[in-house]
Structure 1
Amino acid sequence: MLTLHAAQLLVPGPGSAPLPGGAVLVDGDRIARLGPYEELGAAHPHARTRRWQGVLTPGLLVRGADTLLERTYYPDDPYEVAELGAEAVTGREALDALDLTAARWGHSARRGTQKLLARGVVAVAGRFSIPAVRTAVARSGLAILPPAPFEGPPELDPFAGREAAEQAFHGRLDEGGPARFAVFAAEDPRELLARGATSCVATVIGGRLLHRRR
C-alpha cells in the first residue's frame, strides 16, 4: 500500500536543500519517490496521505546506546515510581541496590526504546551484553550498529551536544532507500537543536509509524 507523508518542510539529508511542501511516498518499507506534495499527490491519488505539521528529516542515530539501555534503568510507571521515582536510575551503586535480573533489564530496555522512538531515533550504536536488552532493541524496530565514537556522554536526545541538526541524522532519504524518517514540530531545521528531539511528532521505520505524538 502506498502512503504519502507530507510535511511543511522536507529535509532529505545533510547538504540537501530543504523542500517546502515536500513529501515522501512510501511503498512498503521503501521510499518510492520524493518531491512536492502537490505533484506526488496528483500522480498517486489513491495513496493514503498523512499530513504532518513540521519538518520531515532522516531519522536520528543515538551513540552509546549500551550505556543508555544496559547501565540505565527506567522505572515502570506507575508501578515502580512510588519507590524509585520517575527519573532514570544510573550509577553502579544505585543499580546494584536494585538487584536487577536479566528480565527486568529487558523490560527497562523496552521502556527505553519507546523513549528513543519518541525522539525520532531510528538507529542505535552500541554493543549489548545482556541478551534480553538486545532482543528488546531488535524487536523495537531500531537498527543496531557497531559502537561509534562520540565526544560527550550518551544522551537520549541525539541533538544534544551537536553543532548542527544534520550531525544527528542517520543517513539520508533517497528514492529506493529505506523508509526511515522522523517529523519534528519546527518550521525550520535550524530550530531543531533548540527545541530538542522531544519535539518529535512522528517516527517511521520500515514504512511503519512506530511513534505518533498524541
Structure 2
Amino acid sequence: MLTIHADSRGSALAVEGEAVVGAGDLAELADGYPRARVRRWPGILTPGFVNLHGTELLEEAYHPDPREADALGTEPLTGAALAALAPDDVRWGGSARRGVQRMLAHGTVAAACDPLRNRAVRDAVRRTGLDVVERQGRPGGVPSLDPFASGLPPRTPPARKTGSAACFAVFDVADEAELAERGASTCVATVIGGRLLYRRR
C-alpha cells in the first residue's frame, strides 16, 4: 500500500513497499498520489539516527526484562554487574531484542557495530529489522540510547529522497533545535525498510 507520511510542517514522504517514491510538500504528494493513504504525525520527519555505540549497547550491556526489574533494575547492566550476571544465550537474545526496541524508541534506524561475536545477539538483532553498519574502531564518547547524550555529534543517514530506502523517524518537536534540546526520547515513530517498527503509545 502506498502511504504518505506527513509531519506538522507539511513535509512528507510517499512510501511504497521498502522505498521512498516521492519526497516534498504534503499538498504536492497528495495531488500526485490521490489514492494514497495519508498518515499525519505530530512533530517533524527526520532521517533518524545512526547510533555509534551499537556494540556497546547490544553486546556489552544487558537490558533487563521488565519482570527482572525488582532484582536487576531497569537500566542496562555493564562491567562488573554484567560479569556477575553471566547471561546465557537465551538471556542475551532477549536483551538484544529489548535493546533494539529501546534504540527504535529513540529514533535509531541503524547501529554502528564491530562484527558481533555473540551469535544469540547477532541473530536477535537481524530479526528485528534494525540496520547494522560496520564501524572502524571504537568511537569514544559515552554509550547512550539517546545520541544527544553520547558526547558526540549525532550522526544521521542521508536525507530521504525518491528511490532511497524508506527509513526515517518522527519526533514530537517543533524543529531540529528543539529536538537537540529535548533529546531523542521525543520520538513517536521509527520506520525501517517501509515497516513501522516503533510507535509511541
Tell me the SS of whatever aligns to 1:168: coil
Residue 18 of structure 1 corresponds to: none
Superposed CA deviations along residues 42-64 of structure 1, whole A, max 9, x for unmatched, are: 22121111101101010210112
- Equivalent residues of 1:179, 1:205 under 8 A apart: yes
Q: How does 1:1-214 map to 2 (within 5 A)?
A: 1-9=1-9, 21-77=10-66, 79-91=67-79, 93-127=80-114, 128-148=116-136, 150-160=139-149, 161-162=151-152, 167-214=154-201
- Equivalent residues of 2:5, 2:13 under 8 A apart: yes
Structure-1 separation of matches of 2:130 and 2:185: 17
**Following TM superposition, by how much is the alpha carbon of 1:140 offset from its aligned partner in structure 2, in angstroms?**
1.1
Superposed CA deviations along residues 2-48 of structure 1, whole A, max 9, x for unmatched, are: 00001023xxxxxxxxxxx1110001110001111111112212111
Tell me the SS of whatever aligns to 1:53: coil
Structure 1 unaligned runs (5+)? 10-20
Runs of 4+ in 1 over 4 A off after TM superposition: none
**Following TM superposition, by how much is the alpha carbon of 1:190 offset from its aligned partner in structure 2, in angstroms?**
1.2
Structure-2 separation of matches of 1:4 and 1:156: 28
**Following TM superposition, by how much is the alpha carbon of 1:162 offset from its aligned partner in structure 2, in angstroms?**
4.4
Superposed CA deviations along residues 64-83 of structure 1, whole A, max 9, x for unmatched, are: 21111111111110x21111
Tell me the SS of whatever aligns to 2:7: strand
- Equivalent residues of 1:162, 1:193 under 8 A apart: no
Q: In structure 1, what residue type is equivalent to 2:95?
A: S
Once superposed, what is the RMSD of the aligned Cα atoms?
Answer: 1.3
Normalised to the residue count of structure 2, the TM-score between the two structures is 0.94
- Equivalent residues of 1:159, 1:168 under 8 A apart: no
Report the more deviating stretch, 110-119 or 33-42.
33-42
Structure 2 unaligned runs (5+)? none
Structure-2 separation of matches of 1:170 and 1:134: 22
Residue 16 of structure 1 corresponds to: none
Q: In structure 2, what residue type is equivalent to 1:39?
A: E
Q: In structure 1, what residue type is equivalent to 2:63?
A: Y
**Following TM superposition, by how much is the alpha carbon of 1:159 offset from its aligned partner in structure 2, in angstroms?**
2.3
Taking only the aligned residue pairs, the percentage that are identical comes to 48
Residue 15 of structure 1 corresponds to: none
Normalised to the residue count of structure 1, the TM-score between the two structures is 0.88
- Equivalent residues of 2:141, 2:152 under 8 A apart: no
